[in-house]
Structure 1
């Protein structure tokens, strides 16, 4: 899971750098950059909205990763959903388990903009048997559309920099392009 979080941070940093290096016409000053979708969530009473680096990565198996980050990339969100192609829209539990289990997982990395010192929290190490849910309201793999809501409580990953738990609430996603 730790290496995936690094991959997510690198992916988000690369997308941010790629989008920020584009030349901007003076007529585009008020335009909002278009990304692959939008992800919104609340953590520690702060609401984050990612329209630039938010997206979905399709795993060769039956897993899709929803990825997003705060503007400064100090809060990176990752939600791999297992069995999405087979099950389709519905409620996906985020259970307690281990990194060896192949579950749907909610995770957040805090203070991880440098890609190596952040504290990672995942639902696999949360306090309960079920530590959150993702409700998928729309999924069309061919049209590359994925939307829904989420919330979870995640525990610090073993041997990581964090301690205790972190709670993510009021999460929503609407993705219109997969990678």
Structure 2
């Protein structure tokens, strides 16, 4: 659990407060805050267009800074790359370990620590890469069957609409008059 919380905190620190996305090419300014290169440059360009007399200010703390003081933040860029790599791996929310096992009884991905828990004692386990092709094939068959059923439903819907129009016939345009 602690690893998942730490990764969440790292992800928050790697967010650009302008675009609210993971920073790309992070630049730091005098006050120590960092932003995406494109975001802080866009802020500077907008400032030039709206008011050439004002000095640029940090979007977070409003401290003044100069365009010349923008500097690349390689350490933050490396941290962001690491967070992206972690995000691309499947991690157990409880233990922070990689999900490399598949419990066929519970139909869930598990880490090695979950496998040893009493909840999964005696369950049938397999490596994810071993079961993946079989489930991919089952999924493809299910998708094919669902498409066939959808085609049948569309056909039945069309037949039903035609039958309704036929029942309504030429009298469907007449209005029933109420007695006075």
TM-score class, shorter-chain normalisation, is under 0.3
Q: Computing the radius of gyration over CA atoms, which structure comes out larger, 1 or 2?
A: 2
Task: Kindly indicate whether structure 1 or structure 2 has the higher relative contact order, using CA contacts under 8 Å at least 6 residues apart.
Answer: 1
TM superposition score normalised by structure 1: 0.25
TM superposition score normalised by structure 2: 0.25
User: Larger % of helix: which?
Assistant: 2
